[in-house]
Amino acid sequence: MNLLNPRPIPDPQHVAAIKQWVGATFGLDAQTTILVTELRCSEPGCPPLETVIALLPINSPVQQYKLPKAIPDITAADVADLGTHASEGESYDHHG
């Protein structure tokens, strides 16, 4: 147990599933790194936790998406929704 950060560590299998969904949704190659990070949000009107998904391709700019929920609550449908926003040229950030 980490006394400085009492939050439970997200299930590695669920994080791996999220990365798989992201890779399939965005058609990513094996060279693109996918980061999935859960953060506390302290902005007014923000949920207590949010998940940031970052795509780090080798020769392209980093793309970042935020979901207003904790990692265990993210579904394949949430990731598909990210793909819809990206295909419309939108950045997806619930803070607007």
Q: Report pLDDT digits (tens) over 14-52.
A: 999 999 999 999 999 999 999 999 988 777 877 788 999
The pLDDT of residue 9 is: 80
CA-based nearest residue to 50, from 74, 76, 68, 73: 68
- 8-state DSSP, 28: -
Q: From the CB of residue 4, how many other CB atoms can be counted at a distance below 10 Å?
A: 4
Q: Is the pLDDT reported for residue 5 higher than 70?
A: no
Residue corresponding to tokens 């302290």: 42
89: left (phi over 0), alpha (psi -120 to 50) or beta: left
pTM, entire model: 0.80
Domain boundaries, the chain: 12-84
Residue 4: what pLDDT?
A: 60
CA angle 36, 13, 47 (to 5 degrees): 45
Percent of the chain with pLDDT over 90: 55
